[in-house]
């Protein structure tokens, strides 16, 4: 069997694979980029971009519900044509996909190999059409896919995932969303706002990826007034004689037209011949790897992106791709610092998680500050004064550790906090920064004041004192 030889083979032309290539390509090494399935990245095709397009439509349409307060006449009569809305989402999605493809794989010749790859040895791949590629270094950037339990596959088109939802030309009248994590909440709320009767279920007692009990309670209180959310019970689905689906969780049963399964994502690793790597796997079947080098054991193999199963977000896929790409084209393996964790859920209000996770904090050494959004002036003006911001710091030093929040403009506040944490700032140092009036950042300022009152290290100039030249 004839083999092609290259310095670096990258498996997967998603975001992580393309970022890996951005490091390998300028190095002058020979390479191939192998992709099975649709090119164009999960982010652009079925992830970040179409979901944010749908959320935008839903938010704009939902805004009509406050217009009556200002005396805007006729707002009750506003109506949304769902097929047109879905075409709009699909048009935007196509623009993003076209942009990715035309800037990446479109101009590649033989270096772009279409097909699914599997390992025959740590330096040898076989493509599903029989071609073989031997490479000095290999990057696995094969992404992830939605989990669908085997028994649920029998429900055919009545059971959809994020791979299908943006493809719909019309929306069902009733839908159960199973899984109230980031994706389930974002889509559940948007589809509810577009007029679908939504029921949310999750077997956990937490939602939106949050761990802080105060934040979880506030999420349920805030979003649970929009559509029913049932937590704490595993869900069962059965087919009704009329073709609809009966969804039960605990004592709650609903009959719906369709179910959206949003119960998590699984790394695309099966059928990849990992047994030929001879490496240890974690309980999810992911090869053990170093998160600072992305190297699998001491093999010439690197992981990047969702397939690593660590932080399933775009900017982390980008960083992991760059780290894996750098090490795949270098003689020496180099470790790189990882960024402060930052997760944003774009439901309204935004749910954000920054820095050290709540469950990892040591209650004995951690101070917590908080503010509820109810009295915050700017939030009141926006008609969005619901939510809570909780910020965590090391009690002794005042060093900021993390935060969880559900708040309007959380996407912006979470960035400020992530940047502060990554810079190693204390809560006092953050409070020395300017805060304009009236802005949502003032809510963060109030949470930080509360936190400051509970930390032990205070320096002149931290709050109201002027800082001497």
Ligand X SMILES: Cc1cc2nc3c(=O)[nH]c(=O)nc-3n(C[C@H](O)[C@H](O)[C@H](O)COP(=O)(O)OP(=O)(O)OC[C@H]3O[C@@H](n4cnc5c(N)ncnc54)[C@H](O)[C@@H]3O)c2cc1C
Binds ligand X (CB under 6 A): choice among 8, 12, 137, 441? 12
Side-chain-side CA neighbours of 44 within 13 Å: the count stands at 20
Binds ligand X (CB under 6 A): choice among 100, 119, 137, 143? 143
Q: Encoding tokens for residue 344? A: 């944003």
Binds ligand X (CB under 6 A): choice among 48, 67, 101, 266? 48
Q: Is 314 in the site for ligand X (CB under 6 A)?
A: yes
d(CA 135, CA 449) in angstroms, rounded, equals 56
Q: Tell me the C-alpha to C-alpha distance, in Å, between residue 450 and each of 379, 382, 399.
A: 19, 24, 14
Site string for ligand X, 347-386 (x = CB under 6 A): ----------------------------------------
- 199 CA to centre of own chain: 22
Residue 65 gets the label, from left (phi > 0), alpha (psi -120 to 50) or beta, of alpha
Q: Is 15 in the site for ligand X (CB under 6 A)?
A: yes
Q: Encoding tokens for residue 290? A: 């170093």
Q: Output the residue with the shortest Cβ distance to ligand X.
A: 14
Q: What is the DSSP string of 28-63?
A: T--EEEEE-S--S-HHHHTSHHHHHHHHHHHHHHHT
Q: Considering the complex, state which of residue 183 and residue 329 has its C-beta at the smaller distance from ligand X.
A: 183
Considering only 85-93, 173-181, 275-283, 302-310, which stretch makes contact with ligand X by CB under 6 A? 302-310
Binds ligand X (CB under 6 A): choice among 8, 47, 138, 376? 47
Side-chain-side CA neighbours of 235 within 13 Å: the count stands at 29
Q: Is 420 in the site for ligand X (CB under 6 A)?
A: no
DSSP SS3 for 216: helix
Binds ligand X (CB under 6 A): choice among 41, 105, 327, 426? 41
Q: Considering the complex, state which of residue 41 and residue 206 has its C-beta at the smaller distance from ligand X.
A: 41
Q: How far is the CB of 98 from ligand X (least distance, A)?
A: 16
> Do 233 and 202 touch, CB atoms closer than 8 A?
no
Size of the site for ligand X (CB under 6 A): 35
Considering only 32-40, 93-101, 333-341, 433-441, which stretch makes contact with ligand X by CB under 6 A? 32-40
Q: Is 410 in the site for ligand X (CB under 6 A)?
A: no
Q: Is 117 in the site for ligand X (CB under 6 A)?
A: yes
Give ∠ CA 88-197-352 in degrees, rounded to 5.
70
Q: Considering the complex, state which of residue 301 and residue 371 has its C-beta at the smaller distance from ligand X.
A: 301
Binds ligand X (CB under 6 A): choice among 80, 82, 94, 116? 116
Backbone angles phi, psi at 172, to 5 degrees: -70, 165
Q: How far is the CB of 112 from ligand X (least distance, A)?
A: 11
Q: How far is the CB of 93 from ligand X (least distance, A)?
A: 11
Q: Is 451 in the site for ligand X (CB under 6 A)?
A: no
Q: Is 141 in the site for ligand X (CB under 6 A)?
A: yes
Q: Considering the complex, state which of residue 55 and residue 368 has its C-beta at the smaller distance from ligand X.
A: 55
Burial of 242 per CB tally in 10 Å (0-12, 13-18, 19+): exposed
Residues that bind ligand X (CB under 6 A): 11-17, 34-37, 41-43, 46-48, 51, 116-117, 141-143, 162, 183, 268, 272, 305-307, 312-315, 317
């Amino acid at each position: 069997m004839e083999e092609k030889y290259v310095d670096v083979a990258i498996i997967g032309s998603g975001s992580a694979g393309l970022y890996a290539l951005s490091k390998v390509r300028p190095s002058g090494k020979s390479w191939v980029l192998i992709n099975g399935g649709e090119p164009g990245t999960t982010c652009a095709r079925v992830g970040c971009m179409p979901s944010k397009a749908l959320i935008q439509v839903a938010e704009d349409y939902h805004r009509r519900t406050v217009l009556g307060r200002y005396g805007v006449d006729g707002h009750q009569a506003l109506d949304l044509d769902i097929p047109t809305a879905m075409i709009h989402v699909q048009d935007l999605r196509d623009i993003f996909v076209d942009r990715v493809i035309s800037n990446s794989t479109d101009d590649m010749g033989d270096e772009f190999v279409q097909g699914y790859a599997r390992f025959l040895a740590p330096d040898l791949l076989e493509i599903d059409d029989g071609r073989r590629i031997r490479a000095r270094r290999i990057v696995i950037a094969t992404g992830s896919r939605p989990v669908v339990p085997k028994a649920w596959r029998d429900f055919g088109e009545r059971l959809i995932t994020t791979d299908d939802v943006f493809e719909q030309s019309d929306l069902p009248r009733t839908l159960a969303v199973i899984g109230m994590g980031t994706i389930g909440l974002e889509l559940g709320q948007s589809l509810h706002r577009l007029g679908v009767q939504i029921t949310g279920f999750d077997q956990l007692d937490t939602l939106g990826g949050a761990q802080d009990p105060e934040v979880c309670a506030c999420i349920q209180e805030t979003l649970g007034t929009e559509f029913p959310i049932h937590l704490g019970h595993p869900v069962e689905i059965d087919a009704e004689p009329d073709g609809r689906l009966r969804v039960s969780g605990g004592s709650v049963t609903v009959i719906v037209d369709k179910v959206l399964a949003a119960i998590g994502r699984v790394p695309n690793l099966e059928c990849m011949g990992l047994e030929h790597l001879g490496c240890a796997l974690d309980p999810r079947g992911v090869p053990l790897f170093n998160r600072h080098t992305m190297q699998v054991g001491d093999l010439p193999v690197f992981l990047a992106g969702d397939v690593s199963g660590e932080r399933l977000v775009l900017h982390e896929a980008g960083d992991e791709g760059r780290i894996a790409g750098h090490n795949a084209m270098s003689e020496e393996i180099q470790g790189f610092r990882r960024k402060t964790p930052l997760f944003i859920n774009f439901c309204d209000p935004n749910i954000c998680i920054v820095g050290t996770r709540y469950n990892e904090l040591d209650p004995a050494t951690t101070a917590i500050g908080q503010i509820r959004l109810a009295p915050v002036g700017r939030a009141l003006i926006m008609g969005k004064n619901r939510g809570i911001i909780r910020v965590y710091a090391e009690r002794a030093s005042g060093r900021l550790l993390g935060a969880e929040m559900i708040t309007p403009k959380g996407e912006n506040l979470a960035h400020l906090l992530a940047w502060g944490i990554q810079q190693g700032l204390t809560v006092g140092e953050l409070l020395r920064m300017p805060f304009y009036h009236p802005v949502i950042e003032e809510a963060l300022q109030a949470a930080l004041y509360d936190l400051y009152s509970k930390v032990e290290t205070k320096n002149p100039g931290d709050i109201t004192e002027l800082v001497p030249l």
